[in-house]
Amino acid sequence: MSIEIKGIIPAMVTPLDENEDLDEAALRRFVNFLIDAGVHGLFPIGSQGEFYAFSPEEKRQVWEIVVDETAGRVPVYAGTGAITTRQVKELNKIAEDVGVQALSIMSPFFISPTDEELYEHYMDIADATSLPVLPYNNPGRTGVRLSPVLISRLAEHPNIVGIKDSGGDLTVTIEMIRRTDDTFAVLMGRDSLIYAGLHHGIKGAIAASGSVVPALVVEIYEAFQAGDMELALAAQERLLPLRLAFGLGTFPVVVRDAVNMIGIPVGPARKPVTSLTGDAREKLRRTLIQMGVL
């Protein structure tokens, strides 16, 4: 299936029950909550979805449920990041089998591969799949930076069609755009920079805050596309307090707690990560109240 990679794609929380097992009913409700808000795609089992916490079989379950419940309404981007090339290819095969439309692949973590090793890693992955591949740059989590020069080389592969850039350096994002052509989709991964990135040519965003306030994040993109810069900027400014609140707890629990607070039950994170308490929880609650969503 050929897809146009664009718009707002929430990085989904993975709903769990009180025993930290997958909650299928909650996941199906969550899919519809996001689609009803006007999102342009879904991204299950990314970093916000706690990809590191789930077995390959559990990932299969999540992807199957999301693909089934989505029923073709929007594309599903599977997060298949892992440390080794072999592991990624195995996850990609699972994702292909269940019918996702694209793959988002975080750079290897824990190890520190060279640019040439990263190049071979992504080229080997892209050679082994028929699905569109989007490398995922998140140096704050992986310790590995995908440079604009490397991305421009990878963009020559017909299956490598875009990148999620969560580096948080707008200059680097702009350089990725400059070094690739218009068919290559640079997606913003830092929610506070969506409006700025749109001015420089990003095609959209994979946004963790889209799990909490999907309609607000969509408003940034849709208003910008309609030429209403004032509305787009206002929506970006309304979103900023939530993005700044991400530091209140251990990643990725703040977004999960926020989704629970607004009345969409998604359960706890898998331990050792635990929910916010005390002042931190109160600060998140006040942020959501001030944003008008609680």
Rounded to whole angstroms, how far apart are CA atoms 220 and 198?
9
User: What is the distance between the alpha carbons of residues 50 and 155, in angstroms, rounded to a whole number?
Assistant: 27
Place of tokens 């071979």: 120
| CB contact set of 133 (below 8 Å; sequence gap of 6+) | 102, 103, 105, 122, 125, 126, 157, 159, 160, 161
Q: For residue 277, count CB atoms less than 10 angstroms from its CB and return exposed for 0-12, middle for 13-18, buried for 19 or more.
A: exposed
* Contact predicate 207/37, CB 8 Å: no
Peptide bond preceding 15 in cis form (omega within 30 of 0) = no
DSSP per residue, 122-158: HHHHHHT-SS-EEEEE-HHHHS----HHHHHHHTTST
- 156 C-beta neighbours (distance < 10 Å), count: 10
Active site residues: 136, 164
Residues, the chain: 294
